[in-house]
């Protein structure tokens, strides 16, 4: 269950605005990668918020509104499929995380980041493996990124219904792979990903 222990460590060390950072969309064959940054207040209660992958779509939508309402500041950043192809998914993810931090209304003085890769900013930071399962700020960021990206993929489904983006969200499901083989890739496919190009 996600909690505020990492945040309290940072607050106790004298930092005042701690941002949790996570991304959604590293693995899909289509669509952007999205990063979110969230600064929570010390007394926050976010009932039911945990790693977004362990929540139902309905619970994530409810949590999205709750986080928007109770956070000090939130920000989202998008890196397109074309840029993913140009700079690779790891660099695209790091760029999205950096942009999300820079877009916060309140600039943080400490970052809690899901995973092992720091953000390229001169801000004190801590990387946490499986942080979205342990750290509330990162869990909140994971929810924002996942919900925002899923909404985008549903919009893309209206443009490209033959690929089933509303259900697969761009991941390489059997039906999605069959559609790529039958119709070829569309403009939001990642052309450097295996499964899109043979």
CATH code for the domain of 113: 3.30.420.10
Whether 177 is covered by a domain: the verdict is no
Whether 33 is covered by a domain: the verdict is yes
Whether 20 is covered by a domain: the verdict is yes
pTM of the full structure: 0.96
Whether 183 is covered by a domain: the verdict is no
| Structural domain count, the chain | 1
Whether 185 is covered by a domain: the verdict is no
CA–CA separation, 145 vs 69, rounded Å?
16
Whether 37 is covered by a domain: the verdict is yes
- Statement: residue 1 has pLDDT above 80: no
CA–CA separation, 157 vs 136, rounded Å?
31
CA–CA separation, 43 vs 53, rounded Å?
25
CA–CA separation, 79 vs 32, rounded Å?
6
Whether 169 is covered by a domain: the verdict is no
Q: Which two tokens stand for residue 90?
A: 């790891």
Return mean pLDDT, the chain: 96
- Reported as a pLDDT band with limits 50, 70 and 90, residue 83 is very high
Which pLDDT score is estimated for 53? 87
Whether 112 is covered by a domain: the verdict is yes
The domain of 50 spans: 5-148
């Amino acid at each position: 269950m996600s909690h505020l222990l990492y945040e309290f460590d940072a607050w106790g060390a004298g930092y005042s605005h701690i941002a949790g950072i996570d991304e959604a969309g590293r693995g899909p064959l289509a669509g952007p990668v999205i990063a979110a940054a969230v600064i929570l207040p010390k007394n926050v209660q976010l009932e039911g918020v945990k790693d977004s992958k362990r929540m139902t779509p309905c619970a994530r939508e409810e949590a999205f509104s709750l986080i928007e309402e109770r956070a000090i500041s939130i920000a989202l950043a998008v890196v397109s499929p074309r840029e993913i192809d140009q700079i690779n998914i790891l660099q695209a993810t790091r760029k999205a995380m950096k942009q999300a931090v820079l877009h916060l209304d309140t600039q943080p003085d400490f970052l809690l980041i899901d995973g092992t890769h720091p953000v390229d900013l001169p801000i004190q930071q801590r990387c946490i493996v499986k942080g979205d399962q342990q750290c509330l700020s990162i869990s909140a960021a994971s929810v924002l990124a996942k919900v925002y990206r899923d909404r985008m993929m549903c919009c893309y489904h209206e443009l490209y219904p033959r690929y089933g983006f509303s259900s697969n969200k761009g991941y390489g499901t059997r039906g999605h792979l069959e559609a790529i083989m039958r119709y070829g890739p569309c403009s939001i496919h990642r052309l450097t990903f295996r499964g899109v190009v043979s």
